[in-house]
Structure 1
Amino acid sequence: MKNNRRTFIKLAAVAAAGLAVAPKAAVASSGGHSPAKVNAKAEHAKQWAMVVDTTKLHSAEEINKLAEICHKTHNVPHIEGKKEVKWLWHDTYAHTFPEQENPHLAEEVHHRDYMLLCNHCENPSCVRVCPTKATFKRADGIVAMDYHRCIGCRYCMAACPYGSRSFNWGEPRHGLDLSKLNPEFPTRMRGVVEKCNFCVERLAEGKDPACVEASEGALAFGDLYDPESPVRKVLRERFTIRRKPSVGTEPCVYYII
């Protein structure tokens, strides 16, 4: 009887300790996406969306500057070649909008570089195929990753029509300057997929995504379902297109051409 009692007390103590660290563990395991991170200043939306003004942001140098800020913020490893890990990058018009190729567009449009990232689709194909729910859609529309649930099957990569996901083939920390890590965001492990998260950790603090803040007005960000949001204002006033609209994912990144 005494042994059972001692065992019960020990287990209770362990459980209490676990509850004390659970919020931090949840934040780390979900890549900073846990509701535990939310505070009174947090930004809220039904569906976050972004508009990229390619008349203002159209060179590789400009986009690479934003990519560098994004990657430093989220401890994205620098790996060159086919095993590259990227959250934000650039590509040509033909590769970005293969379904909307128009030979009569201004030549300058074809020579621009276009900023690419996860589209945080309203109907994300990556979420449907993930067997462990490591890829999931949040209540605010952001398609998030729980790195500890990811088993590295890469079904989500095969399902994503935009090439927005990267796989960690090796140890990600080997591609990082450990003296310059951002302590506010977790690093990943070998064998998991990662991608842009629309800076959920910044939204939880009432801040815009890092790339939006640094874009000098070239990027608009807001709630797609709020008529007064910056995104809706731009969409009312300017003509925009989206990537591969025919696949039915309803991407939430729009481009002013």
Structure 2
Amino acid sequence: MSIDRRRFFTVAGLGVLGVAGVKALGANVVGDPDKLPRLPSATPVKGKRFAMVVDMKACTEQGFAKCVEACHRTHNVPTFADKQEEVKWIWGEPFHDAFPELHHEHLVSGLAEHEFPVFCNHCDNPPCTRVCPTQATWKREDGVVMMDWHRCIGCRYCIAACPYGSRSFNWRDPRPHIAEITTEFPTRERGVVEKCNFCEERLARGQMPACAEACQGDEHPVLSFGDLDDPNSIVRQLLAVRPAIRRKPELGTEPQVYYLV
């Protein structure tokens, strides 16, 4: 092969990768932009250690439904009738399932019946990333645990390793089961794993995660997102004045989702 011919294929390959990268960074804007708090679109949301704080006192059934809908609409999450094929990025679990080590018969009234929003915990010590044979899942320097669907071979080792049930497998083509496909986020295909990504594509565009924008609560935000290493961030301020719990901390995974109770 001549040098010119070799150079042509090299440049063409880079062009294809560039287009794929642009697609992967797309994001769907949720809600009325005039009413929702938003950072300048030209300024990426940066942090050294991202975390989410969930205020259970402010969480309502109606608000939580908006949160789930915003997340799943933004990320082209399919809806299957068969629960065994269910794909979910954020969902609700009762206290005794979300926090089995904390459950007892003398819980504060109403706590046991409350559904807790659960999703990927973006652990500081994620077991899922260690078992992936193709490095299709990894943790960024800012703590976001990522997925590369082009690398995923569907072995499901990460699903087995995750103690929170935060990952879903596409047993069949999800596209026909998406109510309304947004072109601003890539759809997946049969045979790959997916999960919450802390809306990394929105962070790159200066926007908060879709769930946090959609679920603001009547008086206080239900979901607050920010940098744990920044003492002035909203997450640090909340954790400084309210008691918080995390899911299965005894496992040593260091989950970065905190629940104010």
Q: TM-score, normalised on structure 2? A: 0.88
Q: What is the SS of the residue equivalent to 1:220?
A: strand
Larger radius of gyration, structure 1 or 2?
1
Displacement of 1:84: 0.3
**Contact conserved, 2:79 with 2:177, CA < 8 A, in 1?**
yes
Query: Which residue of structure 1 aligns with residue 205 of structure 2?
Result: 205
Displacement of 1:27: 5.0
Distance 1:222 1:19 in 2: 34
Q: Deviations over 1:170-189 (max 9, x none)?
A: 00112113xx3211110001
- The number of residue pairs the alignment matches comes to 242
Displacement of 1:96: 0.6
Q: What is the SS of the residue equivalent to 2:6?
A: helix
Structure 1 gaps of 5+ residues are: 34-38
Query: Which residue of structure 2 aligns with residue 183 of structure 1?
Result: 183
Matching of residues 94-113 of structure 1 within 5 Å: 94-113=96-115
Query: Which residue of structure 2 aligns with residue 72 of structure 1?
Result: 73
Distance 1:219 1:67 in 2: 12
**Contact conserved, 2:66 with 2:215, CA < 8 A, in 1?**
no
Displacement of 1:215: 1.1
Structure in which a larger fraction of residues adopt helix: 1
Q: TM-score, normalised on structure 1? A: 0.90
Displacement of 1:15: 1.5
Q: What is the SS of the residue equivalent to 1:82?
A: helix
Q: Which amino acid aligns with 1:182?
A: T
Query: Which residue of structure 2 aligns with residue 90 of structure 1?
Result: 92
Query: Which residue of structure 2 aligns with residue 150 of structure 1?
Result: 152
Distance 1:120 1:32 in 2: 19
Query: Which residue of structure 2 aligns with residue 36 of structure 1?
Result: none
Matching of residues 99-248 of structure 1 within 5 Å: 99-177=101-179, 180-216=180-216, 217-248=221-252
Q: What is the SS of the residue equivalent to 1:222?
A: strand
Q: Percent identity over the alignment?
A: 52
**Contact conserved, 2:174 with 2:189, CA < 8 A, in 1?**
yes
Q: Which amino acid aligns with 1:55?
A: K
Query: Which residue of structure 1 aligns with residue 12 of structure 2?
Result: 17
Q: Deviations over 1:146-179 (max 9, x none)?
A: 00100001000000000000000000112113xx
Distance 2:148 2:108 in 1: 43
Distance 2:104 2:228 in 1: 28
**Contact conserved, 1:58 with 1:113, CA < 8 A, in 2?**
no
**Contact conserved, 2:120 with 2:196, CA < 8 A, in 1?**
yes
Displacement of 1:201: 0.6
**Contact conserved, 2:54 with 2:222, CA < 8 A, in 1?**
yes
Moved over 6 A (4+): none
Q: What is the SS of the residue equivalent to 1:201?
A: helix
